[in-house]
Amino acid sequence: MTLVGQIPEGGVDVLEEFLGLVTKRLTIEDSLDESHALAYHQVADEDTGQLTRTVLGRLVNQAKYKTYKEPRQRIGDAIANFISRHPRYALATRIGCVPPHGVSKSSSLPSRVVNQVSKALRINLLRITRLTSTSEQKEITDEDRRLGVRKRIANQKGTMRVDTELSGDNVILVDDLYGSGGSMQEGARALRAAGAREVLGLAITKQHLFEGVSLTSPS
Angle, vertex CA 58, rays to CA 155 and CA 102, nearest 5? 30
Q: What is the dihedral of CA 58, 60, 65, 67, to 10 degrees?
A: 110
pLDDT at 89: 96
Q: What is the pLDDT of residue 66?
A: 83
pLDDT for 189 = 96
Q: What is the pLDDT of residues 48-65, one digit of tens each?
A: 888 899 999 999 999 988
Decide if pLDDT at 25 tops 50.
Answer: yes
Judge whether residue 2 has pLDDT over 50: no
Q: Domain map of the chain by residue range?
A: 26-206
Per-residue pLDDT tens for 125-162?
999 999 998 877 777 776 676 777 788 788 889 999 99
pLDDT of residue 15: 52
pLDDT at residue 22, rounded to an integer: 61
Q: Mean of the per-residue pLDDT values for the chain? A: 85
Identity (one letter) of the amino acid at 70? E
pLDDT at 113 over 90: yes
pLDDT given for residue 203 in this prediction? 96
Q: How confident is the model at residue 219 (pLDDT cuts 50, 70, 90)?
A: very low
Higher pLDDT, 66 or 92: 92
- Evaluate whether the domain defined by 26-206 bears CATH number 3.20.20.70: no
- Confidence tier at 19 by pLDDT (50, 70, 90): low
What pLDDT was estimated at residue 18?
A: 56
- Using alpha carbons, select from 16, 128, 113 the residue that is nearest to residue 71: 113
SS3 per residue for 13-42: HHHHHHHHHHHCCEEECECCCEEEEEEECE
Q: Residue 195: which residues within 8 A CB-CB, separation 6 or more?
A: 165, 166, 167, 168, 169
